[in-house]
């Protein structure tokens, strides 16, 4: 690699056309300028200037080196300009959230991308723990999780709350639902089922259900594709628990029955990023959309 200091001295010499003025501009001695030009010539393996008394002419190799030095200056200026220009409507945004929330958010994110074609949305559906791991590894830059990470590694804010629903086959719509009915129906399990059920039983306000444990329920099936979880429920094969957004997006909604309890159970959603990670402006554009779409209470959590 050619020494950038020598290249700058050479470029200045060519621009000014005089050794003395070059030395004055660079706060060097004239012999110092000559030494750096000679070192650059030695590094290139060619004479770069043809000296004629007090003046000089560029050799063909010197002209090429001069053009190279000019390009380096232009490239550096372009880099500095790029670093200072953070387009809020251009670039890649890497996000992650639960599968059910992804079903709800993705159309809105695609609409945003249609408005700003240079904005590239990458949305991954994942459980809480994987979202946090991917934030740390840099695989994603912004995530939505359902609990505050117990770590100083993340910066969180409340983005909203989402209702949870216990969903049964339609044949249960005119029946009183208690622990025995859930046991008889059987659970269609999925990766978040145990967490959702524990939260639901604890907060639903039904004394009989509050004494239940997800571990006591027989399993009637398992599926980890969020858009398929309600299919066995619609076919009468079991019940499950999911966020309301997943239920609303299910095409066979009429085949389902939503359990009504004394209290609606809502799960808090947190917008999370890696602490000390300064995200580009385009993430502010996406964040504003998420806050508007989910309609949060707007309480900051650090």
Please report the domains of the chain, with CATH numbers, ordered by start residue: 4-83 (1.10.10.10), 91-155+276-301 (3.40.190.10), 162-266 (3.40.190.10)
pLDDT at 300 over 50: no
pLDDT at 168 over 50: yes
Q: Please state, in angstroms and rounded to a whole number, the distance separating the CA atoms of residues 134 and 168.
A: 34
Which of 123-137, 145-159, 184-198, 271-285 has the lowest average pLDDT? 145-159
For the segment 228-239, the average pLDDT, to the nearest whole number, is 96
Q: Residue 84's pLDDT is what?
A: 64
For the segment 197-216, the average pLDDT, to the nearest whole number, is 92
Percent of the chain with pLDDT over 90: 70
Q: Residue 151's pLDDT is what?
A: 76
pLDDT at 228 over 60: yes
Q: Please state, in angstroms and rounded to a whole number, the distance separating the CA atoms of residues 58 and 48.
A: 6
3-class SS letters over the chain? CCCHHHHHHHHHHHHHCCHHHHHHHHCCCHHHHHHHHHHHHHHHCCCCEEEECCEEEECHHHHHHHHHHHHHHHHHHHHHHHHCCCCCCCEEEEEEECHHHHHHHHHHHHHHHHHCCCEEEEEEECCHHHHHHHHHHCCCCEEEECCCCCCCCEEEEEEEEEEEEEEEEHHHCCCCCCHHHHHHHCEEECCCHHHHHHHHHHHCCCHHHHCCCHHHCCEEEECCCHHHCHHHHHCCCCEEEEEHHHHHCCCCHHHEEECCCCCCCEEEEEEEEECCCCCCHHHHHHHHHHHHHHCCCCCEEC
- pTM exceeds 0.75 for this model: no
Q: Residue 285's pLDDT is what?
A: 94
Q: Residue 147's pLDDT is what?
A: 83
Enter the tokens of residue 70: 């000019």
pLDDT at 4 over 60: yes
Q: Please state, in angstroms and rounded to a whole number, the distance separating the CA atoms of residues 110 and 166.
A: 30
For the segment 216-243, the average pLDDT, to the nearest whole number, is 94
8 A C-beta contact, residue 175 and residue 181: yes
Q: Residue 114's pLDDT is what?
A: 96
Q: Which is more confidently placed, 148 or 164?
A: 164
Q: Which is more confidently placed, 238 or 76?
A: 238
pLDDT band at 295 (very low <50, low <70, confident <90, very high): low
For the segment 120-126, the average pLDDT, to the nearest whole number, is 93
Tell which residue, 36, 211, 196, has the closest CA to residue 100.
196
Tell which residue, 24, 54, 50, 52, has the closest CA to residue 37.
50
Q: What is the pLDDT of residues 65-106, one digit of tens each?
A: 999 999 998 888 778 767 766 889 988 999 999 888 888 899
CB atoms within 10 A of CB 166: 22
Q: Residue 81's pLDDT is what?
A: 65
Percent of the chain with pLDDT over 70: 96
């Amino acid at each position: 690699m050619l020494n950038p200091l020598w290249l700058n001295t050479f470029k200045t010499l060519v621009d000014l056309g005089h050794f003395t003025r070059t030395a004055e501009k660079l706060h060097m001695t004239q012999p110092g300028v000559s030494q750096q030009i000679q070192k650059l010539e030695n590094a290139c393996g060619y004479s770069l200037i043809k000296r004629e008394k007090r003046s000089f002419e560029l050799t063909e190799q010197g002209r090429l080196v001069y053009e190279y030095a000019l390009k380096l200056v232009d490239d550096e200026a372009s880099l500095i300009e790029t670093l200072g220009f953070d387009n809020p409507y251009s670039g890649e945004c890497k996000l992650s959230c639960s599968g059910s929330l992804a079903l709800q958010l993705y159309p809105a994110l695609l609409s945003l991308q249609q408005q700003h074609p240079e904005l590239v949305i990458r949305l991954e559906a994942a459980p809480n723990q994987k979202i946090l791991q991917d934030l740390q590894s840099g695989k994603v830059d912004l995530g939505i999780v359902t609990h505050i990470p117990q770590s100083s590694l993340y910066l969180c804010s409340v983005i909203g709350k989402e209702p949870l629903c216990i969903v049964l086959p339609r044949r249960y719509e005119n029946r009183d639902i208690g622990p025995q009915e859930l046991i008889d129906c059987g659970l269609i399990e999925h990766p978040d089922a145990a967490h959702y059920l524990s939260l639901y039983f604890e907060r639903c306000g039904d004394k009989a259900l509050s004494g239940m444990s997800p571990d006591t329920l027989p399993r009637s099936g398992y599926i980890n594709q969020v858009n398929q979880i309600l299919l066995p429920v619609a076919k009468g094969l079991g019940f499950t628990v999911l966020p309301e957004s997943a239920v609303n997006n299910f095409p066979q909604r009429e085949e389902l029955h939503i359990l009504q309890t004394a209290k609606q159970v809502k799960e808090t959603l947190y917008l999370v990023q890696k602490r000390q990670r300064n995200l580009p402006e385009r993430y502010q554009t996406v964040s504003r959309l998420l806050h508007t779409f989910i309609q949060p209470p707007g309480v900051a959590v650090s």
